[in-house]
């Protein structure tokens, strides 16, 4: 699983635009199907990678970029729409090291996260 996420965050200084994005590489463990009639696919997931913060704005239009290592662990549920497409819902916790300078008024962006997703399966797709 490769996951790319982005979170827009409001800055304490009204003339700045702050964003924190992550590029995470991870894995999922799908639980065995409890019933052949059920198409729901529950899973556990974990991922790690850089969290990249940037600030654009200020009086002189300065740009600053900073990175911190981090990871995510969580649980989720995929619901196949057809053989190649799935809807997913997952929730988990981001654990991120402190940035060396505050970004948007905060040095740390660890916390809970809930995501609604859409996925496309390559190849033969999901087998029923």
pTM score of the predicted model: 0.73
pLDDT at 11: 43
Tokens of 9: 């965050």
pLDDT at 8: 43
Q: Strands 2-9 and 111-120: what pairing?
A: unpaired
Pairwise CA distance, residues 88 & 65, whole Å: 31
**pLDDT digits over 70-110, tens only?**
999 999 998 888 888 889 999 999 999 998 888 777 888 89
Task: Map tokens 């979170």 to a residue.
Answer: 7
**pLDDT digits over 1-27, tens only?**
445 454 444 444 455 677 788 888 889
pLDDT at 93: 95
Where in the chain does DSSP place strands (E)?
A: 2-9, 16-30, 41-57, 62-80, 85-96, 111-120
């Amino acid at each position: 699983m490769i996951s790319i996420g982005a979170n827009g965050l409001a800055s304490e200084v009204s003339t700045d635009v702050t964003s924190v994005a992550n590029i995470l590489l991870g894995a999922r463990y799908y639980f065995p199907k409890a019933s052949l009639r059920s198409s729901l696919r529950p899973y556990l997931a974990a991922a790690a990678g850089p969290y990249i913060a940037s600030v654009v704005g200020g009086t002189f239009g300065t740009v600053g970029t900073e990175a911190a290592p981090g990871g995510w662990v969580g649980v989720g549920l995929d619901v196949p729409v057809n053989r190649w497409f799935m809807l997913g819902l997952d929730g988990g916790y981001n654990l991120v090291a402190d940035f060396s300078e505050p970004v948007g008024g905060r040095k740390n962006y660890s916390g809970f996260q809930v995501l609604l997703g859409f996925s496309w399966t390559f190849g033969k797709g999901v087998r029923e």
